[in-house]
Structure 1
Amino acid sequence: MSEQALCWLNGQLLPLADASVPVNDHGLLYGDGVFEGIRIYHKRAFRLQQHLERLALSARAIALDMPYSLAELTAAVQEIVEVFSGESGYIRLMVTRGPGPLGLNPVGCHRPNVILIADQISLVHSQSREQGARLIIAAMRRLPFDGLDPRVKSLNYLNHILAKIEANHAGVDEAVLLNGQGRVTEGTADNIFIVKNETLVTPPCTEGALEGITRELILELAAEAGIPVRIAPLAPYDLYTADECFLTGTGAEMIPVRDIDGRELTKCPGPVFKQLNRLFFERIETESR
């Protein structure tokens, strides 16, 4: 937590250290709730409406009634951005089921908590961002699509946390999760792309990946730049033999990958990454100023 950290809790702005929710909130007890991560650039929330629309869909999918409209949430985000001291930063927007009796049944939860935290975030060290991140393929598998739809951004991230612990134990930056069929889904907090024979490839979300807003933007930028794109299943072999690999996400932005399970990639950062990274930050400037 930095000195800049702020919280907006159910309509009230507070220093993060002063904010609290009841210990019987089902978001705390059971991970029952949804969230979004939103970047601040030049004192503006980047692609805010896409994030809020996805939040609303996640909430609807778990039968969670949103206590604020999208217009009210937009105003709340704008309020915390204005007060936040940084020109850039990161917002974590959460909607919990709210306090209720012990037990999984949410029927006794009547007051969802809406929480916005504004602070700084860095998913990898600056050296890894410049020279390339090191990855492993985790033993932990992604929850199956028919168990929990990856389009729901729920507060329960234990599956990904356990994969991140594997990365920590291996002394690398990030872990890639496979699905039950052994195909690539995503990182612990990011989507994954490879480049092979000058073609950009990323797994379909039906493999278990989140429909990332940054992922969508990268696909959009690649199409505009005339870079060939394929959305296709990937196996570990495809990662090991890729010409380039990189990660994308709201928190990650764009991170090149240097090696995967000790297999060093031939290009890092590669020419396709460099081109898309330049276009990505140009688009941020265009939309944020």
Structure 2
Amino acid sequence: MNSLEDPLLWWNGSYERLTRVRIHPLDRGFQFGDGVFETIRVQKGKPIFLQDHLERLTLSLKALGFALRHEYFPWVNTRGERVETKSVEEIINHLIEVNSLSGCICRVKVLVSRGVVEGLSLPEPTKPTVFIMAFQYRPPEPDIYDHGWDIITVKDIFTPYLARYKVTSYLGYLVAKNCAVKKGSAEALLVDRSGNISEGASSSILVCKDGRWVEPLTEWKLPGVTIRQVARILSTMGHEVTSQPVGVSDLYECETIWLMNSMVGIMPVRTINHRRVPDLKKDIAASIRKRMFG
């Protein structure tokens, strides 16, 4: 069995083949979806925005009551005070080399569960389960970026408190995504309890109306790593990004809608609820993707 069929991964402090990894049936990640994760794009051997991803992961761990101990989380320094990327970069580079992924665009997932510990609250884990995995990623074809995605909005599918963190309790987002797929769309935008757009099932959203770029304002969403970088690049191009509530009806008045995440980069939207979006701004989107990914 070769590395493509049985890849090497980093598991609880050591390297192990996927087929040899065993998850305890009482692991809280399996029992309750009690964990957090990050997905990171690696291009030309470089993990894109690794510091930002690890900082967001660490904030999620803190919020959910994980003690930040270096022996479990190699990206946290020995005092548990700050995030350091070097050790994780070394792990990722080793996984890419051993799994024959050099020269490929890769998807790296860092996943943490609370492990095996009793209690129906959020007890401090005695030994969390930690994975780092690397797989080949095939981004959308150029014509998909050129044509853009068809997307829909969905109501009543979001988790208010947990929306702020990238948790493994992901079923609500998968249900929303499935609603989109069943209707022949690529993505679903979630509508919060105030009737405003929060985020996509697997993406952040940025809109342009009357020449102004706006990030939908809501407290019920994940702070996006990629959207922060896109906003920074837009500012260097003379475009300020502001935040304000965006309702479903507001989307129909936007000239441009972009979705973004760490793997896809920026994906223009072609239609929203079967209504045509006037301007994909695909050339600007392509330029920003190139600046982010090289």
TM range (shorter): 0.7 to 0.9
Letter of the aligned partner of 1:119 in structure 2? Answer: F
- Counterpart code for 2:237: A
Paired position in structure 1 for 2:229:
217
Separation (CA, whole Å) in 2 of partners of 1:31 and 1:154: 8
Asked if the contact 2:116–2:127 (Cα under 8 Å) also holds between the matched residues in 1, the reply is: yes
Q: Is residue 181 of structure 1 aligned with residue 190 of structure 2?
A: no
Alignment partner of 1:53 is 2:55: yes
Whether the 8 Å contact between 1:142 and 1:185 is mirrored in structure 2 is no
User: In structure 1, what residue type is equivalent to 2:216?
Assistant: P
Match 1:274 to one of 267, 273, 283: 283
**Partner of 2:120 in structure 1?**
104
Distance 1:105 1:202, change over 3 A: closer
Q: Secondary structure at the match of 2:127?
A: coil
- Residues 123 and 106 (structure 1), Cα distance of their counterparts in 2 relative to 1, 3 Å cut: farther
Mapped partners of 2:6, 2:51: distance in 1? 24
Query: In the alignment, which residue of structure 2 is the partner of 1:62?
Result: 64
Q: 1:83 aligns with which of 64, 80, 98?
A: 98
CA contact (8 A) 2:28 2:115 kept: yes
* Superposition map of 1:191-206 within 5 A: 191-204=204-217, 206=218
The superposition leaves residues 108-142 of structure 1 with CA deviations (integer Å, 9 ceiling, x where unpaired) of: 84211110121134586765333110101013332
CA distance in 2, matches of 1:12, 1:249: 29
Matches within 5 A, 1:1-289: 3=5, 5-66=7-68, 67-70=72-75, 71=84, 72-86=87-101, 87=103, 88-101=105-118, 104-107=120-123, 109-121=125-137, 127-144=143-160, 147-148=161-162, 150-204=163-217, 206-268=218-280, 270=281, 273-285=282-294
C-alpha distance after superposition, 1:32-85 (max 9, x if no partner): 111111110101111111111111111011011241241444433343234342
Inter-CA distance 85–110: structure 2 relative to 1 (3 Å threshold)? same
Higher helix share: 1
Give the TM-score normalised by structure 1: 0.87
Supply the distance in 2 between the matched residues of 1:26 and 1:265 (Cα, whole angstroms): 43
Q: Percent identity?
A: 28
Superimposed CA distance per residue, residues 133-187 of structure 1 (whole angstroms, 9 cap, x where no aligned partner): 010101333222xx33x33211111121111111122121110001001100110
Task: Note the residue ranges of structure 2 that are not aligned, 5 or more in a row.
Answer: 76-83
Residues 182 and 163 (structure 1), Cα distance of their counterparts in 2 relative to 1, 3 Å cut: same
Tell me the distance in 2 between the aligned counterparts of 1:180 and 1:135. 20
Change (3 A) 1:277 1:39: same
| 1:4 Cα offset (Å) | 8.4
The one-letter code matched in structure 2 to 1:130 is D
- How many equivalent residue pairs? 277
* Cα 1:131–1:167 shift into 2, 3 Å: same
Gap change, CA 1:125 and 1:186, over 3 Å in 2:
farther
What CA distance in whole angstroms lies between the structure 1 residues aligned with 2:171 and 2:238? 38
Cα RMSD of the aligned pairs, angstroms, is: 2.4
SS in 2 for 1:24: coil
The answer to whether the 8 A contact 2:10-2:131 is kept is yes
- 1:203 Cα shift? 1.1
Q: Is the 8 A contact 2:47 2:89 kept in 1?
A: no
Q: What CA distance in whole angstroms lies between the structure 2 residues aligned with 1:218 and 1:254?
A: 8
* SS of residue paired to 2:164: coil
Match of 2:79 in 1: none
Q: Which moved more, 1:206-215 or 1:30-39?
A: 206-215
